[in-house]
Every structure is written in C-alpha cells, then in structure tokens.
C-alpha cells in the first residue's frame, strides 16, 4: 500500500507543478512514439505489414506452440513448399500461421499457394474466403524467419482479459508520469 500512497502523493505534486507535468507527459509521448517508429522501421526493413506475430492456436504444433512470437520477412524471393508463411484472409482480422504444401507457378510469373497447419488433418481451403481455392502472393504477410518461444503468452493473456490490459497500461503510464529523474 505504501507504493500506491507514494504514487498518489507524487501525482498530486505533479499536478501542482504544471512544468514538471508537461515534461513527464512529453516523456510518456516520446516512449509511445519511439515504439511506433521502431514498428514502422521494422515494417520497412522486413517489407511486411506485420513483422512480428504471435501464434494463437496449436495448429502448427510441434513446430510452433501457442504463444510463440514469430519474426517475419516478406522479401521478393520465391515461396517454396515447406516454408512457414503468415497469411491474411479477406474480411478476417487475424492472420494465420501455416506451412506451404503446394506452389503453382503460372506462365505470367504469378504464384498460387496451398497451405496447411502441421497439426491439422486437411489443407486450409476451408479457411480461405468463399470460392477461393489458393492463396495469392498478396495474401501472404511474410515468412517465419525466427521465433521466441512462449513470450507471446503475455499478448494472449492481455487479449483474453482486456481489463487487465487497461489496468497494466494505466499503471505503467502512472509510473512514467510520476517517476523523477535523478
């Protein structure tokens, strides 16, 4: 309880000192904008609109577990069978992480891709948009290039319990605002 009381006291002091409040608010904004710039920088380097994703299901076990963080690239080199790709289906918000089973290269250079989760019995045609039998290159967000095991469980827990997410963000913001530099 002493921590809460001291934070409330610091917040009251901060509210009285408008110059310090402005300084701390700018520090908080700098942290947020730095994170956004890092994300945008990763997007440019990897050529992927989502350079980091969290595995949300067990469909890729044993290769990836639920909660693994994947690092993606979306470079122009050809996609091959056996690679693990992250794709997004039209009118769905959540990307899917699955392995490429078949690649059809057309005469005009375009490719069509069929995917399947390692832990699934059938291919992904049932997941694709109605009438879609193959993924196009533009459906693919990137290829898995690296992983951090289980660290994405934090994201899953915060999405499953949104109140916890808002409390955590509020507490972190409070600490940033009330923290004094020595």
Distance CA 169, CA 57 (A): 25
User: For the chain, what's the residue count?
Assistant: 182
The active-site residue, picked from 48, 59, 68, 139, is 59
Q: Is 158 helix (H, G, I), strand (E, B) or coil?
A: helix
- Cα(21)–Cα(10) distance, integer angstroms: 11
Report the distance separating Cα 161 and Cα 76, nearest Å.
Answer: 38
Burial 98-111 (b: 16+ CB within 10 A, else e): bbbeebeeeeeeeb
Of these residues, 34, 91, 118, 124, which one is catalytic?
124
6 is catalytic: no
124 annotated active-site: yes
Is 59 annotated in the active site? yes
Catalytic choice (98, 108, 118, 182): 98
- In terms of Cα–Cα distance, which of 148, 146, 157, 159 is closest to 48? 146
Residues carrying an active site annotation: 59, 98, 124
């Amino acid at each position: 309880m002493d921590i809460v009381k001291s934070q409330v006291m610091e917040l009251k002091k901060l509210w009285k000192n408008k110059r310090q409040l402005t300084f701390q608010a700018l520090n908080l904004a700098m942290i947020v904008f730095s994170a956004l710039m890092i994300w945008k920088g990763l997007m440019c380097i990897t050529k992927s609109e989502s350079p980091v994703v969290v595995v949300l299901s067990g469909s890729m076990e044993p290769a990836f577990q639920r909660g693994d963080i994947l690092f993606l690239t979306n470079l122009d080199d050809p996609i091959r069978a056996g690679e693990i790709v992250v794709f997004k289906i039209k009118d769905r918000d959540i990307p899917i992480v699955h392995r490429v089973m078949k690649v059809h290269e057309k005469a005009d250079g375009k490719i069509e891709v069929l995917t399947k989760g390692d832990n699934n019995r059938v291919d992904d045609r049932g997941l694709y948009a109605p009438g879609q039998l193959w993924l196009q290159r533009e459906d693919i967000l990137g290829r898995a290039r690296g992983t951090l095991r289980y660290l994405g469980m934090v994201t899953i827990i915060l999405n499953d319990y949104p109140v916890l997410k808002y409390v955590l963000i509020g507490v972190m913001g409070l600490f940033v605002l009330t923290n004094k530099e020595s």
